[in-house]
Chains A and B, each alone.
Chain A
Amino acid sequence: MFDNQSKTPLEELDTKLRKVNAKNLNQRSDTRSDQGFGIAVRIGVDIVAALAVGVGLGLLLDNWLNTKPWMLILFFILGAVAGLLNVFRSISGHGYAVGYASPELKNVSGSNTNKHAGNR
């Protein structure tokens, strides 16, 4: 009798909610619509930041090693490459990870991040 009473709409609602939640869990990453604008805001700064770090490092090394323009020139180029690499990564789905995962590694460990990254 007690059991019959507790099979009330509340329990039905609970099972329904669970179903909806499970659905949402699977769909969540597809329903992001703000990603495009978000990424546009992000990547502009990335090039400049890497370039600035490169120039800063170059100047520091020049001061330290007394090799006036050479380290600056070298690290300017490296910084520019790093900036482009940052942008390439963030738009091609590598996320912000430094380096790449080999395809086998990706399938094993990073399936979660890749799914997300692919959507961006």
Chain B
Amino acid sequence: MADGKEQSPLEQFEIKPLIELKLGNFDISYTNSALFMTVTFFLIVGFLLLGTRKRASVPSRLQVMVELSYEFIAGLIRDTIGAEGRKYFPFIFSVFMFVLVGNLLGMTPYSFTFTSHIIVTFALASVIFIGVTILGFCKHGMHFFSFFLPPGTPWMMAPLLVPIEVISYLSRPISLSVRLFANMLAGHTLLKVIASFIGLLGVYGVLPLALVTALTGLEILIAFLQAYVFAILTCLYINDALKLH
């Protein structure tokens, strides 16, 4: 910490290939980002399998946690989509758990936060966006395009409103991915920057230490909140595609 020249607050986001792999001209190395995604996957699967192993009517603590996360997403879907949203539960639950565990895993020291990379969040958001668009086409066929012209619009306004609605629709994956990525990037950078003051200020380093402690709590809150926002927006988008208006 003391020799501030070598430590950069952005160093934590560096992607390092662990196993070099090449497929033609593509670099498909197994990186630290991929490693933490794998860890996230096994954590989720392990958590769910261990928690549901006994299926006790008086649940253990782990089972309560699993049931809580299940209930949380089930309630979210019931509130936003309604009964016909049930079949999208596996998808929304997977997305929620992946983002949540990825965010929380990033909060452990010396770990890597893969949700702080826009390519990861944008890939997630693109899958949701493309999936929802296909869903809309499957459900409504060409009627889907009425999405871009609100009912009851005067025809004079159509040339103005349609581009606006199209831009608004296309901005969904971008706002979805940038929100998660920016929150994670900013939070983790801020933590590192303030933490680097602790060593530099000597005795007064207690002050930034207290601040970092508080910010760590805030970051954990944001980790939950961003996963929640990601899940609720997925629900709202699916709801839009199912009901159009």
A-side residues, CB < 8 A to B, are 25, 28-29, 34, 37-38, 41-42, 45-46, 48-50, 52-54, 57, 75, 78-79, 81-83, 85-86, 95-102, 105, 109-110, 112-113, 116
Chain B residues with CB below 8 A from A109, complex form: 243, 245
CA distance A48 to B182 in the complex (A): 12
Chain A residues with CB below 8 A from B2, complex form: none
B8 to chain A, nearest CB (A): 26
* CB contact list, B162-213 vs A, under 8 A: 163-165, 167-172, 174-175, 178-179, 182-183
Given contacts A38-B229, A97-B245, contact A49 B147 (CB under 8 A): no
B167 touches A99 (CB 8 A): no
A-B contact pairs, 25 of them (CB 8 A): A37-B225, A41-B226, A42-B179, A49-B171, A49-B175, A50-B175, A52-B171, A53-B167, A53-B174, A54-B167, A57-B170, A79-B167, A79-B171, A82-B164, A85-B164, A85-B168, A95-B240, A97-B245, A99-B148, A99-B150, A100-B245, A101-B151, A105-B245, A113-B81, A113-B243
Contact with A along B115-132 (1 / 0, CB 8 A): 000000000000000000
Given contacts A38-B229, A54-B167, A99-B165, contact A46 B245 (CB under 8 A): no
B65 to chain A, nearest CB (A): 19
Kindly name the residue among A48, A53, A100 whose own CB sees the greatest number of chain B CB atoms within 10 A. A53
CA distance A101 to B245 in the complex (A): 5
CA distance A97 to B179 in the complex (A): 19
B228 touches A113 (CB 8 A): no
B159 to chain A, nearest CB (A): 11
Chain B residues with CB below 8 A from A45, complex form: 175, 178-179, 182
Contact with A along B54-73 (1 / 0, CB 8 A): 00000000000000000000
Segment with Cβ contacts to A, from B35-43, B89-97, B230-238: B230-238
CA distance A53 to B150 in the complex (A): 21
Q: What secondary structure prevails in chain B residues at the interface with A? A: helix
Apart from A50-B175, A82-B165, A99-B245, 13 more pairs, CB < 8 Å: A28-B75, A28-B78, A34-B225, A49-B171, A50-B167, A52-B171, A85-B164, A86-B171, A95-B239, A95-B240, A98-B240, A99-B149, A99-B150
A24 to chain B, nearest CB (A): 9
Chain B residues with CB below 8 A from A49, complex form: 171-172, 174-175, 178
B-side residues, CB < 8 A to A, are 75, 78-82, 146-152, 163-165, 167-172, 174-175, 178-179, 182-183, 225-226, 228-229, 232-233, 236-237, 239-240, 243, 245
Chain A residues with CB below 8 A from B78, complex form: 25, 28
Kindly name the residue among B80, B163, B168, B183 whose own CB sees the greatest number of chain A CB atoms within 10 A. B168
Chain A residues with CB below 8 A from B149, complex form: 99
CA distance A83 to B163 in the complex (A): 12
B151 touches A105 (CB 8 A): yes
B183 touches A41 (CB 8 A): yes
Chain B residues with CB below 8 A from A100, complex form: 150-152, 245
> Among B148, B171, B233, B243, which residue has its beta carbon within 8 angstroms of that of A83?
B171
Chain B residues with CB below 8 A from A25, complex form: 78
Given contacts A49-B175, A102-B151, contact A113 B233 (CB under 8 A): no
